[in-house]
């Protein structure tokens, strides 16, 4: 049973460029969330996708956008890259909860983005 | 808004020592509480969870009890191993999905 897979694992971009990161959720999961993890910090919520719609968004500018496909996979796009966008980008999948409590997240290993 | 505060690291212990990593939270309602662990070069993995007050989550010898009266979810292990060296994140989330809020993480080093 494949877990959450992300690609690429590493990426180096120049300021002002655009980047697309990809994520395939764990089998059976229908919800994908994206997080940004700066060095030495906890993950910060970017947004969550469910049924191909953005369901909630964190405190990130519109330069950050996403998409979810019918097979539940997802992309994160970042435009006009800034040096401060350098971070580990984590994709997490989950199953939309039907009971009490929030379903735990299953994370990929992340994409390390370096902006120079 | 909701937030999670956990003790700063790094925490350095000798093998077989007792571990406590403190975590307190601020939230509306009754969130679910989680501990995630991140090993070097890897993404986060769920370690344990609790969904209501007085629940105790446990896994791999780690335990944490959901204390609503003190808004805490401290992580404990009776005897740590070198393989427990990692970064530990306390987190909370609400029923219905949506975002999970993470603490800043506590790095644990265990010496042989």
Q: pLDDT tens, B5-56? A: 999 889 999 999 999 999 999 998 889 999 999 998 888 999 999 999 999 9
Residue of B27, B99, B102, B106 to mutate, testing the A interface (most A Cβ within 10 Å of its Cβ):
B99
The pLDDT of A17-30, averaged and rounded, is 96
Contacts of A90 in chain B (CB under 8 A): 43-44
pLDDT of B96 reads: 65
The pLDDT of B50-72, averaged and rounded, is 96
pLDDT of B98 reads: 78
Retrieve residue B4's tokens. Answer: 């999670």
The verdict on B102 touching A (C-beta cutoff 8 Å) is yes
The CA distance from B18 to the nearest CA of chain A, in Å, is 24
How many Å apart are CA A89 and CA A110, to the nearest integer? Answer: 5
A102 with B96: Cβ contact below 8 A? yes
The verdict on B58 touching A (C-beta cutoff 8 Å) is no
**Residue B54 DSSP SS3:** coil
Q: Which helix (H) or strand (E) holds A100?
A: none
Q: Considering only CA atoms, which of B8, B92, B44, B32 is closest in space to residue A3?
A: B44
pLDDT, tens digit (0-9, with 9 covering 90-100), for A83-104: 999 999 999 998 876 555 677 8
B105 with A42: Cβ contact below 8 A? yes
Residue B93, pLDDT > 80, answer yes
The CA distance from A37 to the nearest CA of chain B, in Å, is 10
The CA distance from B2 to the nearest CA of chain A, in Å, is 13
Residue B94, pLDDT > 90, answer no
pLDDT of A100 reads: 55
Percentage of chain B exceeding pLDDT 70: 98
Give me the DSSP letters along A38-71: -TTS--EEEEEEETTEEEEE-S--TTEEEEE-TT
Residue of A51, A104, A106 to mutate, testing the B interface (most B Cβ within 10 Å of its Cβ):
A104
Residue of A94, A101, A106, A112 to mutate, testing the B interface (most B Cβ within 10 Å of its Cβ):
A101
The CA distance from A20 to the nearest CA of chain B, in Å, is 19
């Amino acid at each position: 049973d494949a877990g959450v897979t992300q690609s690429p694992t590493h990426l180096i971009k120049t300021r002002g460029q655009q980047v697309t990161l990809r994520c395939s959720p764990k089998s059976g999961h229908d919800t994908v969330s994206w997080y940004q993890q700066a060095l030495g910090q906890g993950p910060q919520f970017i947004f969550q996708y469910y049924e191909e719609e953005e369901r909630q968004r964190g405190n990130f500018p519109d330069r950050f956008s996403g998409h979810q496909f019918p097979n539940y996979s997802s992309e994160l796009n970042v435009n006009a890259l800034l040096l401060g966008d350098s971070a580990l980008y984590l994709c997490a999948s989950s199953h939309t909860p039907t009971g009490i409590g929030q379903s735990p997240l299953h994370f990929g290993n992340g994409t390390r983005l370096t902006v120079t | 808004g909701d937030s999670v505060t956990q003790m700063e690291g790094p925490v350095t212990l000798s093998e077989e020592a007792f571990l406590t990593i403190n975590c307190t939270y601020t939230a509306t309602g009754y969130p679910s509480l989680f501990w995630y662990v991140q090993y070097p070069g890897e993404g986060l993995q769920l370690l344990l969870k609790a969904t209501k007050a007085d629940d105790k989550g446990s896994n791999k010898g780690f335990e944490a009890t959901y204390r609503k009266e003190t808004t805490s979810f401290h992580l404990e292990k009776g005897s740590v191993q070198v393989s427990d060296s990692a970064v530990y994140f306390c987190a909370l989330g609400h029923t219905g999905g949506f975002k999970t809020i993470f603490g800043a993480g506590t790095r644990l080093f265990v010496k042989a």
